[in-house]
């Protein structure tokens, strides 16, 4: 009775607090659809349009930017932002829904990278304070109105204790996940790995560099609460202890209380969730919230003894935390299989990873024949959900798939030999990519597209946009966070990409690679007939296309996967069409597609 008495009093207290301040529940408890729209920042899309009507371009730009931060795949909004930069002059884009603790953390890391250690400390300490405040809010919000799957209130028939336990476990799972929520940027699914411990990791070295060894040891010990076996930080902590010997007892320096409290609570939550899973029939798997895969990418590890310290300070010895490892061994330089294909540049010469540039993949005659196919089968907006200008309003996009070309050939609407050529050269490209990158498993087609982009007359003056904005092919590029999030709506199953160019008689349209910032160009390639650029599809290869300002630029775009589950369905159907044609003795195209012997 005392327990339920306290529950009833608390419920009455909350109800008495809500109604006078917020009004009736119908006024402040939004429907699920509304909550989902706010989570996706849909109101900012409307706000942008409203501000345009009022000619408030700076406010419109900020609304568009705020929406775009949560919807990075929205190309039209991205184009709107570029237009604001042109029409409104210099605009400082502000994310009006930014999480302050996340902004402070990013600022702290930027100052740390510039070796501005006192500024880094100021921002990172503020980020920690904001993090723990947001954590408290997140915990409370989990106790608010919830609608749990399969637990409709009126239909629920469980007994008293099962009902309480069932509801509480849902609330507890929500609270337990606050760690992930606070580490996830707006519009993202994946959190920044190892987010909270990283604050202490950066701080322990920053404090060392400003000469505050007590704080350095305190932060190192706080980090070790999460990762007690981290050899680099253990060495650093030992070094800080050596520095403090003779001035104070290093053992009196303890980890930070708030880190200890949060970790203790988190472990207890995990224990209760696992108990519930065993006793009440829940399915629960504990995620790895403190994955050390995410960590400082620097060399700021101090030596474990003073004797190894040079005159001007500590030796920066151990490479601390490598960049994320790819899920397969990366190789390149395998045979090109065809004697007429000419090697031009490798990854090193293209200033990147898993890149290759080749010439003479197809001949001038084959380029002309493909152009004939293109003019006969392409439709405006094909491959872009019918949008004729999906990436920029200044160009028209047209495309066609292999299956469509073969069907048109079979029906006599285009020469069958030309349609067959499209099929054959895409297979030739696949074989080259598979061989050059020395893949140990079969490379499958994920999508094959013959695409042309045409500059629209009268719309090229003072143009400063791109034909295709900077992106990566299997993840969502986040230049501000220097991350590429491998999550939907990105085509996460893509592993390699290739572009086979058909012509050079146009202006602009250079293919470019950039750094993760989507600004720093690392390589620029001018298309021409028979030239092919191929590369791995991940965040290591952000790329785009400069504006086509005159003429038409055509290419065969190819995306590949190593996972047979994601094979291109149209390609499988095209294979069946080819088999049928061969049975009818129509034969292959005149192109020689048999690889020559080992080079």
pLDDT, one tens digit per residue, over 189-243 is 678 888 999 999 999 999 999 999 999 999 999 999 999 998 889 999 999 999 9
> What are the φ and ψ backbone dihedral angles of 258, each rounded to 5 degrees?
-65, -35
SS3 11: helix
Residue 313 has pLDDT above 50, yes or no: no
- Work out whether the CA dihedral 317, 322, 328, 334 comes out positive or negative: negative
Q: Name the least confident of 142-156, 305-319, 437-451.
A: 305-319
Q: Which two tokens stand for residue 18?
A: 């809500």
pLDDT recorded at residue 30: 75
The pLDDT score that the predictor gives to residue 352 is: 92
Report whether pLDDT(40) > 90: no
Q: What is the pLDDT of residue 299?
A: 47
Chain-wide mean pLDDT for the chain? 83
At 365, the pLDDT band (50, 70, 90 cuts) reads: very high
Domains of the chain: 1-29 (no CATH), 31-90 (no CATH), 99-292 (no CATH), 348-578 (2.60.120.620)
SS3 399: strand
- Residues forming a β-bridge with 37: none
Q: Specify the higher pLDDT residue, 512 or 596.
A: 512
Close Cβ partners of 22 (under 8 Å, ≥ 6 residues apart):
28
Per-residue CA distances from 165 to 146, 170, 173, 277, 390 (Å): 15, 9, 12, 11, 50
Confidence (pLDDT) at 246: 85
Separation in Å, CA 68 to CA 81, 193, 465, 578:
9, 23, 17, 44
Instruction: State residue 217's pLDDT score.
Output: 95
Tell me the mean pLDDT in the region 333-359. 94
Q: Do the Cβ atoms of 454 and 396 come closer than 8 Å?
A: yes
Q: Does the active-site annotation cover 27?
A: no
Residue 318 has pLDDT above 60, yes or no: no
Question: CA 119, 123, 128, 129 torsion: positive or negative?
Answer: positive
* Peptide linkage before 489 cis (omega within 30 of 0): yes
Assign 298 a pLDDT band (cuts: 50, 70, 90): low
CA distance 471 to 490: 10
Percent of the chain exceeding pLDDT 90 equals: 45
Q: What is the mean pLDDT of residues 291-307?
A: 47
pLDDT for 191 equals: 82
Strands 548-561 and 444-455: antiparallel
Burial code (b: 16+ CB inside 10 Å, e: under 16) for 425-447 equals bbbbbbbbbbbbbebeeebbbbb
The confidence score (pLDDT) of residue 303 equals: 42
Cα separation, 45 vs 226, in Å, equals 40
Rounded-to-integer distance, Cα 416 and Cα 584, Å: 13
Tens of pLDDT, residue by residue over 404-416, are 888 888 888 888 8
Output the pLDDT for position 587: 46
Nearest by Cα to 206 from 126, 130, 292, 116:
116
- Residue-wise pLDDT for 469-517, tens only, equals 899 999 988 887 778 888 877 888 999 999 999 999 999 999 999 998 8
pLDDT higher at 18 or 112: 112
The pLDDT-based confidence of 337 (bands split at 50, 70, 90) is very high
pLDDT of residue 320: 38
Given a cut of 70, is residue 586 above it in pLDDT?
Answer: no
pLDDT reported for residue 539: 92
Which one-letter DSSP state was computed for residue 343? E
- Tens digits of residue pLDDT in 134-190: 999 999 988 876 665 555 544 556 788 887 888 888 899 889 989 988 998 776 767
- Tell me how many degrees the CA angle 447-451-452 measures, rounded to the nearest 5: 170
For 519-553, the pLDDT digits (tens) are: 889 999 999 999 999 999 999 999 999 999 999 99
Q: Of these residues, 328, 553, 567, 571, which one is catalytic?
A: 553
């Amino acid at each position: 009775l005392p327990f339920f008495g306290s529950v009833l009093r608390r419920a009455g207290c909350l109800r008495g607090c809500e109604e006078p301040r917020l009004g009736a529940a119908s006024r402040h408890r939004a429907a699920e659809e509304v909550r989902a729209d706010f989570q996706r920042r849909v109101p900012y899309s409307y706000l942008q349009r409203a501000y345009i009507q009022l000619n408030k371009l700076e406010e419109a730009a900020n609304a568009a930017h705020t929406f775009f931060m949560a919807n990075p795949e929205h190309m039209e909004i991205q184009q709107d932002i570029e237009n604001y930069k042109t029409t409104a002059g210099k605009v400082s884009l502000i994310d009006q829904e930014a999480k302050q603790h996340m902004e402070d953390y990013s600022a702290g890391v930027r100052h740390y990278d510039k070796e501005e250690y006192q500024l880094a400390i100021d921002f990172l300490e503020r980020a920690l304070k904001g993090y723990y405040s947001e954590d408290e809010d997140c915990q409370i919000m989990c106790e608010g109105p919830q609608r749990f799957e399969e637990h409709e209130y009126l239909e629920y028939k469980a007994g008293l204790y099962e009902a309480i336990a069932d509801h509480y476990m849902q609330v507890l799972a929500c609270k337990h996940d606050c760690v992930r929520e606070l580490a996830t940027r707006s519009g993202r699914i994946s959190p920044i790995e190892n987010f909270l411990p990283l604050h202490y990791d950066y701080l322990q070295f920053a404090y060392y560099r400003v000469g505050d060894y007590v704080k350095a040891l305190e932060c190192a010990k706080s980090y070790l609460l999460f990762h007690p076996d981290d050899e680099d930080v253990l060495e650093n902590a030992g070094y800080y202890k050596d520095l403090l010997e003779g001035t104070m007892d290093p053992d009196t320096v303890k980890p930070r209380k708030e880190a200890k409290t949060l970790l203790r609570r988190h472990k207890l939550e995990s224990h209760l969730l696992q108990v519930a899973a065993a006793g009440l029939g829940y399915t629960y798997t504990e995620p790895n919230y403190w994955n050390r895969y995410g960590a400082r990418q620097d060399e700021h590890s101090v030596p474990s003894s003073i004797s190894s310290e040079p005159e001007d300070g500590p030796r920066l010895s151990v490479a601390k935390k490598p960049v994320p490892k790819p899920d397969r061994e990366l190789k390149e330089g395998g045979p090109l299989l065809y004697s007429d294909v000419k090697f031009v540049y490798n990854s090193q010469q293209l200033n990147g990873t898993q890149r290759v540039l080749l010439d003479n993949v197809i001949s001038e005659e084959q380029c002309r024949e493909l152009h004939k196919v293109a003019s006969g089968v392409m439709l405006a907006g094909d491959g872009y959900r019918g949008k004729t200008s999906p990436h920029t309003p200044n160009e028209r996009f047209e495309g066609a798939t292999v299956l469509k070309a073969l069907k048109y050939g079979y029906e006599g609407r285009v020469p069958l030999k030309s349609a067959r050529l499209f099929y054959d050269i895409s297979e030739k490209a696949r074989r080259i990519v598979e061989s050059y990158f020395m893949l140990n498993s079969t490379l499958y087609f994920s999508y094959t597209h013959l695409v042309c982009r045409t500059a629209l007359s009268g719309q090229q003056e003072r143009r400063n946009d791109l034909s295709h904005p900077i992106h990566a092919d299997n993840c969502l590029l986040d230049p501000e966070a220097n991350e590429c999030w491998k999550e939907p709506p990105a085509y996460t199953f893509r592993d390699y990409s290739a572009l086979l160019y058909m012509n050079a008689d146009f202006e602009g349209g250079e293919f470019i690679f950039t750094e993760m910032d989507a600004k720093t160009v690392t390589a620029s390639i001018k298309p021409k007939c028979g030239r092919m650029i191929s590369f791995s599809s991940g965040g290591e290869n952000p790329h785009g296309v400069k504006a086509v300002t005159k003429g038409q630029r055509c290419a065969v775009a190819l995306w590949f996967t190593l996972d047979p589950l994601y094979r291109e369905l149209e390609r499988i159907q095209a294979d069946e069409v080819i088999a049928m044609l061969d049975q009818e003795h129509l034969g292959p195209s005149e192109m020689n597609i048999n690889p020559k012997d080992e080079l």
